[in-house]
Amino acid sequence: MTNPGQVSKLLSETSRNGYLAAISASSYSFISLLKHFLPIMNPGGASISLTYIASERIIPGYGGGMSSAKAALESDTKVLAFEAGRKHKIRVNTISAGPLRSRAAKAIGFIDMMIDYSMANSPLQKELSAGKSLLLFFFFLNVFYCTSFGVL
């Protein structure tokens, strides 16, 4: 988990270390990844990160600086998209897949309600699962590898 012991705290009760850990794991890690991989990626390649709607809306219980970290990730993605696009011809994107019943999500305490709400209101009324998320991850990793390093 990115920010154990802090994620269920109110933002105003989050420690400095907890807040910095959230920013480091959820935002700066993507910057660092691109810093190292952009120079060896092929033009036309792409990178992708995962965000969460708490970057835009208040999700009670999603605390510990995580909503701020996801907002930073989305802001950084815009800057990185411009920089990587201009300098390396690489696309940079972030997506939000929706609520996932994960160990980290259980820390906020009401993931089941969030999944039920999502199921009732989303166009694709299908619950995400860790297995499917891993498949998507490996699919995107494969696409990233193939397009970025010229395998295809």
SS3 sequence of the chain: CCCCCCCCCCHHHCCHHHHHHHHHHHHHHHHHHHHHHHHHCCCCCEEEEECCHHHCCCCCCCCCCHHHHHHHHHHHHHHHHHHHHHHHCCEEEEECCCCCCCHHHHCCCCHHHHHHHHHHHCCCCCCCCHHHHHHHHHHHHHHHHHHHCCCC
The catalytic residue positions are 52, 62
Whole-prediction pTM: 0.76
The pLDDT tens digits of the residues spanning 69-96 come to 999 999 999 999 999 999 999 999 998 8
Residue 6: inside a domain, yes or no? no
Domain assignment of residue 78, yes or no: yes
Q: Which of 63-67, 79-83, 104-108, 146-150 has the lowest average pLDDT? A: 146-150
In which domain, by residue range, is 48 found? Answer: 11-148
The answer as to whether 2 is a domain residue is no
Number of domains into which the chain is organized: 1
Residue 1 lies in a domain: no
Residue 44 lies in a domain: yes
CATH number at residue 118: 3.40.50.720
